[in-house]
A and B are shown apart, each in its own frame.
Chain A
Amino acid sequence: MTLAFLNLTWPTFANGLALGGVYALMAVGIGLVFGVLRLVNFAYGQLIMAGAFALAFGSQWGFPNWASILFCFGVVLGLSVLMDLLVFRPLRTHSPAVMLVATFAVAFLLQNIALLAFGPLGKSAGALAILNAPWDIGGVFIKKIAVISFATAVGCLVILQLLLTRTPLGLHMRAAAMDFRTARLLGVRANWVISGAVIVSGLFAAVSAVMLSVQELTVVPTFGTQDTILVLAGVVLGGLNRPIPATLGGFSIGFANGILGGVLPSNQSQYLPSFLFAAVIVVLLVRPNGLFARGGGTVERV
């Protein structure tokens, strides 16, 4: 059995699913914070970068893998909460433009701190690289990390869905994303809802950091930046203010990225982002409300 038109093979298809899954997680991470704060966090990629460096240092210092991963989660969550307390919350009532510029500033600040501290060459991604070895699934060799990434992403999204639909905090987060002012008048605690969104968003950034750093051999200060820009394009593609379409948008662009990366001849892979962004522009010209939007949805500002 083969998918051999162009150069598409089952392993490439699996890589597409895996990258799609990770990008979907990132899309949800960005979308949750947008929902409650009306803030597009451009510094999301730097959270992932910080997590990847934490993993690299963990293995350099001889941590067992579980401890490196735990260290990565700690660093990313700590940084998320700090970003929220120092930047997002104080600026919450300001205009969207101010918040946008602020997250750009945070992104460049973190990237430059990483550049000064760790240098432009970065660090080796470490011990989890063994997950790049393949599993033999019915005669098809598929990287372990592809299977693990996709399964983890699906698991995370299912757990999030349960949190959002089955718990009071989830209900409060959904209501706050629709109409924060009315939610507060009903007794929904603004601070809890924002903290909930920031923490889940941070957890997803940490998971993404682990998954992405396995596939890249080195962690550099720009780690995760291009992925974040692609995810943001995907989120806009899906429809920023609608959670499920935004997630599908993230998945689509990750899937396309993984497939094109496998199909394009390797001497042309530097054109990959150009192909993806061209596709985004074409889709937005044809469907300005997003690929998966139903009818004419407009972005509501609170």
Chain B
Amino acid sequence: MTALTVEKLSIRYGAVEAVRGLSLEVKPGEIVGLIGPNGAGKSSTLHAIMGAAPVTGGDVRLDGTSLVGRRPEDVARRGIALVPEGRRIFGELTVDENLRLGLAGRRRGRNGGGLTRAFDLFPILREFRSRQAGVLSGGQQQQLAIGRALVADPDVLLLDEPSLGLAPKIVDVVFEALTQIRDSGLGVLLVEQRAQRTVALADRSHVLANGELRLTLGPEDASDTDRLVAAYLA
């Protein structure tokens, strides 16, 4: 069973074509990396999947059902959760309230792991649950953003540069969490700037440049720096 299929996706903002003919697939229990230089169309792809960017061609399907033309809240309620770029934590709300907001994306009739799942993965969130989210450190906020996405019990998790601006030690925590999330059976689509780490972690990594898919790499290519650099410069 395929969780998420992106087929010949094109995205256009006015005269600017952000993505052309991108196809990829995310199955349950795998991490798919999406890497490439700034402006390659990585974030646009995630937003298009969520129904928050204008799709001009192609299709996005979840278990065979097309998601194109649906509202972001409806896509979220069908089992796709996004951890947005810059974390987008509600700083004036408490950690607990941020997590309960994630429940908005929960599907009808599903109990899900709910809050416990987030707390088990990131114990720091349980400890700080009554604090204002705005006072957390960047790394803690990133953990909150991922936890918030997980409480909805999604089938597919989209992450937009989760390691951005984090200290190396915290990046380790985040990447370790992604492994655990994969092992629990979710499909993960990971947009990242840290190309080498992403290629090493992901089951497949697609290199996107200028809105087009250039190359697909496996974990064995992580040490092949020349190939990576060539893909970026192509």
Q: Which residues of A approach B to under 8 Å, CB–CB?
A: 168, 171-172, 174-175, 178-179, 181-190
Chain B residue nearest to A188 (CB atoms) is: B104
Contacts of A187 in B (CB 8 A): 73, 76-77, 102, 104-106, 152
Given contacts A174-B93, A181-B52, list 19 more A-B pairs with CB under 8 A. A168-B104, A172-B101, A178-B90, A181-B72, A182-B88, A182-B90, A183-B104, A185-B88, A186-B76, A186-B81, A186-B105, A186-B148, A186-B152, A187-B73, A187-B104, A187-B152, A188-B73, A188-B104, A189-B104
Chain B min CB distance to A166 (Å): 11
Which chain B residues lie closer than 8 Å to A182 at the CB level? Answer: 84, 88, 90
B90 and A179 contacting across the interface, CB-CB below 8 Å: yes
B103 to chain A: which residues have CB within 8 Å? 168
A contact residues around B148 at 8 Å (CB): 186
Question: Which residues of B sit under 8 angstroms from A189, Cβ to Cβ?
Answer: 73, 104
Chain B residue with the shortest CB-CB distance to A189: B73
Residues of B with C-beta under 8 A to A190: 71, 73
B100 located at the interface, meaning its Cβ lies under 8 Å from any Cβ of chain A in the complex: yes
Complex Cα gap A168–B151 (Å): 14
Report which residue of A183, A187, A189, A190 has the largest number of chain B beta carbons within 10 angstroms of its beta carbon: A187
Given contacts A168-B100, A172-B104, contact A185 B90 (CB under 8 A): no
The residue in B71, B97, B104 that gathers the most chain A C-beta atoms within 10 A of its C-beta is B104
Give the nearest-CB partner of B102 in chain A. A186
- 15 CB-based A-B contacts, threshold 8 Å: A168-B103, A171-B100, A172-B101, A172-B104, A175-B90, A178-B93, A181-B52, A182-B88, A184-B71, A185-B88, A186-B101, A186-B105, A186-B148, A187-B73, A189-B104
Smallest CB–CB gap between B75 and chain A, Å?
Answer: 9
Kindly report which residue of chain A lies nearest to residue B100, judged by CB atoms. A171
Q: Which residues of B contact A184 (CB under 8 A)?
A: 52, 71-73, 76
- Residues in B with CB closer than 8 Å to A185 are 50, 52, 72-73, 76, 82, 84, 88
In the complex, chain B residues whose CB is within 8 Å of the CB of A178: 90, 92-93
Using C-beta atoms within 8 Å of the partner chain, give the interface range for chain B: 20 to 34
CB distance from A154 to the nearest CB of B (A): 24
A263 to chain B, nearest CB (A): 39
Q: In the complex, what's the smallest C-beta–C-beta distance from B100 to chain A, in angstroms?
A: 6
Report how far A77 CA is from B52 CA in the complex, Å: 32
A189 to chain B, nearest CB (A): 5
Q: Which residues of A contact B72 (CB under 8 A)?
A: 181, 184-185
Lowest 3 CB-CB distances: which A-B pairs, in order?
A: A187-B105, A187-B76, A187-B104
Tell me if A171 and B101 are in contact (CB < 8 A).
Answer: yes
In residues 146-165 of chain B, which contact A (Cβ within 8 Å)?
148-149, 152
What's the minimum C-beta distance from B160 to chain A, rounded to whole angstroms? Answer: 10
What is the distance, in angstroms, from B110's C-beta to the closest C-beta of chain A? 12
Interface residues of B in 58-78 (CB under 8 A from A): 71-73, 76-77
Q: Nearest residue in A to B50 (C-beta to C-beta)?
A: A185
Interface residues of B in 187-224 (CB under 8 A from A): none
Query: Closest chain A residue to B103 by CB distance?
Result: A168
Which chain A positions have C-beta within 8 A of B82? Answer: 185
Instruction: Tell me which residues from 29 to 76 in chain B have a Cβ below 8 Å from any Cβ of chain A.
Output: 50, 52, 71-73, 76
